[in-house]
Amino acid sequence: MPTVVFLNISGGTTIAQEQMFPFKGQQRSFIQEGTAMMKKIAAALIGIPLVAGALLISVPARATSDDDGAAMYNTKCKMCHGATAEKKMDKTKADDALVQTVLDGKTAEKPPNMPAFKDKGLTPDQAKALVAYMKSLK
């Protein structure tokens, strides 16, 4: 049964407060439970972002698609090769040769030269998707 404790506040007013833990052992176990709960919450707040970060790092990049090839062509290639890749590209060449040209670049007879896109972070898979997109343009 809870006991009542009277506290005297410096203005002379007395306030009654219920003491929730009549025995010191009960108070200590409550504090220990609270501390354990706080540790679990802290572990979750730290652990969840760490696990999410590890999953994001370990998941391979998504495969390139036609949309990626189209977006890349429109931002990086269209200005020199034209809307349908009709300029400065031989569509009869093998895909592997064209992919290598995209990655390594090419010195043209007259400027501008084709830059090496592997130096700009383009992967072979992205280059392959780009070449496939360029060949599909008509």
Domain ranges across the chain: 3-58, 66-136
What mean pLDDT, rounded, does the chain reach? Answer: 78
- Residue 39: Cβ-neighbour burial (10 angstroms; 0-12, 13-18, 19+): exposed
User: pLDDT of 76-128, one tens digit each?
Assistant: 889 989 998 888 888 899 999 999 999 998 887 878 888 999 998 889 989 99
Q: 95-104 and 124-136 are packed helices; what angle lies between their axes, rounded to 10 degrees?
A: 120
Tell me the mean pLDDT in the region 66-85.
85
Report which secondary-structure segment, H or E, holds 124: helix 124-136
For the 66-136 domain, the top CATH level (class) is: mainly alpha
